[in-house]
């Protein structure tokens, strides 16, 4: 009887593995992408993970985790249209660098710098720190422009199990007071990291031994990730996501923040606790409708600051949906509605 059970387990495992390999062939991925292009949704029905937002002319663009990096566009930040992804065929270096990567590309960041749009994106597999951050550029975000073309520049940071105690995913671009570019990143392992970039923003200036930890919880699992640094009124605010994403209705994700006068820290929360020691003032957490909420970005449009993030809807089988909330500031700290 025991042998029969084992045999059936093996058959099921092999069958599931074969189905998975067939399900996610490049051709099937392309067909799935093409079926989604042009689909319109509202902000609270747009399925996203790890969203960031930027505006070009009168149109807003969201970049998010997805096959080849998902893109959505909107005229009003309410109704969103699915666009073609950044990569229909992800760069070969990504497959070569991260075994198991299948084209599903995580946690992008988008910025306008040096007269071009720079996209940083994450190459990884779940629960491992054999990862890489890639970088691509474009002169416009308008897919109808004749000049629209993403140019990939390869990996900018690579993490390696046993060699680096950090994970090269979840990038975020920021400028210091002198206008010099930096990149923060990180997920679990040693915590959140900050590196100094070269002036072009396309390569790292720091030696790998000089990468600086800017937030860690000092816990065994060290559940901290997704840094986003936002400058306002002389302060740098480091937003981070604590606890666990990606568990549907069981997710415990939440967003916290600390601040510093300098881009490289030390970041301190409203109670005076350092984010190097697990500090972080709560910004937003789950409620009766949504379980975990997190992996946020912050942007300013027409003088209003916004927090955007994904939220796991308990009434929709724990699926993650886009939320965008206006930020108010009280005593130098960000506040958003908790009953969203």
DSSP 270-324: TTS-BGGGT--EEEE---SSEEEEEEEEEEEETTEEEEEEEEEEGGGTTEEEEEE
User: Is the predicted pLDDT of residue 11 greater than 90, yes or no?
Assistant: no
> Would you tell me how many other CB atoms lie within 10 Å of the CB of residue 148?
13
Res 30: pLDDT: 82
Q: How confident is the model at residue 24 (pLDDT cuts 50, 70, 90)?
A: low
Report yes or no: 118 and 201 within 8 Å, Cβ to Cβ: yes
> Would you tell me how many other CB atoms lie within 10 Å of the CB of residue 280?
26
- Residue-wise pLDDT tens digits, 256-308: 999 999 999 999 999 999 999 999 999 999 999 999 999 999 999 999 999 99
Res 250: pLDDT: 95
Res 45: pLDDT: 97
**Nearest Cα to 312, choosing from 285, 332, 282?**
285
* Alpha carbons 194 and 107: distance in angstroms, whole number: 16
> Would you tell me how many other CB atoms lie within 10 Å of the CB of residue 331?
6
What SS3 class is residue 88? coil
Res 148: pLDDT: 98
Q: How confident is the model at residue 29 (pLDDT cuts 50, 70, 90)?
A: confident
Res 327: pLDDT: 98
* Percent of the chain at pLDDT exceeding 70: 93
User: Is the predicted pLDDT of residue 74 greater than 80, yes or no?
Assistant: yes
Q: How confident is the model at residue 218 (pLDDT cuts 50, 70, 90)?
A: confident
Report yes or no: 178 and 199 within 8 Å, Cβ to Cβ: no
Looking at residues 50-71, what average pLDDT do you find?
Answer: 98
Res 219: pLDDT: 80
User: Is the predicted pLDDT of residue 340 greater than 60, yes or no?
Assistant: yes
Point out which residues pair with 55 in neighbouring strands.
Answer: 60
**Nearest Cα to 101, choosing from 72, 71, 53, 134?**
134
**Burial class of residue 249 in the structure, from the number of CB atoms within 10 Å of its CB (0-12 exposed, 13-18 middle, 19+ buried):** middle
> Would you tell me how many other CB atoms lie within 10 Å of the CB of residue 1?
5
Res 181: pLDDT: 98
- Residue-wise pLDDT tens digits, 227-241: 999 999 999 999 999
**Nearest Cα to 309, choosing from 235, 223, 245?**
245
* Comparison of pLDDT for 193 and 34, the residue scoring more: 193
Q: Which CATH class is domain 37-335?
A: mainly beta
Report yes or no: 308 and 328 within 8 Å, Cβ to Cβ: no
* Alpha carbons 117 and 98: distance in angstroms, whole number: 25
User: Is the predicted pLDDT of residue 79 greater than 90, yes or no?
Assistant: yes
Report yes or no: 91 and 133 within 8 Å, Cβ to Cβ: no
- pTM comes to 0.92
- Residue-wise pLDDT tens digits, 296-325: 999 999 999 999 999 999 999 999 999 999
- Residue-wise pLDDT tens digits, 145-156: 999 999 999 999
Report yes or no: 306 and 53 within 8 Å, Cβ to Cβ: yes
Per-residue DSSP letter, 204:
B
Report yes or no: 216 and 191 within 8 Å, Cβ to Cβ: yes
User: Domains of the chain: which residue ranges?
Assistant: 37-335
**Mean per-residue pLDDT of the chain:** 92
Res 34: pLDDT: 84
- Give how far the C-alpha of residue 178 lies from the chain's centroid of Cα atoms, to the nearest Å: 26
Looking at residues 11-34, what average pLDDT do you find?
Answer: 55
Catalytic positions are 50, 225
């Amino acid at each position: 009887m025991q042998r029969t059970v084992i045999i059936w387990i093996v058959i099921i495992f092999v069958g599931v593995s074969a189905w998975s390999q067939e399900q996610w062939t490049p051709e099937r991925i392309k067909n799935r992408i093409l079926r989604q292009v042009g689909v319109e949704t509202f902000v609270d029905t747009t399925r996203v993970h790890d969203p960031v937002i930027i505006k070009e002319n009168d149109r807003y663009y969201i970049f998010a985790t997805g096959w080849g990096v998902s893109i959505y566009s909107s005229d009003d930040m309410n109704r969103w249209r699915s666009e073609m992804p950044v990569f229909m065929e992800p760069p070969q270096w990504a497959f070569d660098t991260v075994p198991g990567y299948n084209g599903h590309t995580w946690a992008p960041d988008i910025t306008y710098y040096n007269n071009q749009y720079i996209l940083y994106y994450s190459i990884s597999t779940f629960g491992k720190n054999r990862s890489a951050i890639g970088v691509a550029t474009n002169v416009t975000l308008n897919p109808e422009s004749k000049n629209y073309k993403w140019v990939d520049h390869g990996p900018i940071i690579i993490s390696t199990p046993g060699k680096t105690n950090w994970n090269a995913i979840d990038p975020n671009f920021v400028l210091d007071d002198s206008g010099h570019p930096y990149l923060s990143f990180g997920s679990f392992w040693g915590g959140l990291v900050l590196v100094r970039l070269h002036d072009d923003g396309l390569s790292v200036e720091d030696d790998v031994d000089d990468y600086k930890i800017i937030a860690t919880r000092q816990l065994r699992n060290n559940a901290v990730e997704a840094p986003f640094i936002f400058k306002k009124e002389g302060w740098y605010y480091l937003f981070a996501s604590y606890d666990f994403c990606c568990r549907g209705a069981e997710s415990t994700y939440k967003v916290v923040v600390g601040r510093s006068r300098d881009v490289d820290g030390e970041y301190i929360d409203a109670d005076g606790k350092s984010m190097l020691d697990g500090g972080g003032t709560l910004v937003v957490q789950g409620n009766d409708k949504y379980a975990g909420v997190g992996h946020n970005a912050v942007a300013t449009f027409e003088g209003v600051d916004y927090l955007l993030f994904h939220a796991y809807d308990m009434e929709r089988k724990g699926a993650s949906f886009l939320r965008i909330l206006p930020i108010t500031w009280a005593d130098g700290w960000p506040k958003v509605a908790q009953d969203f």
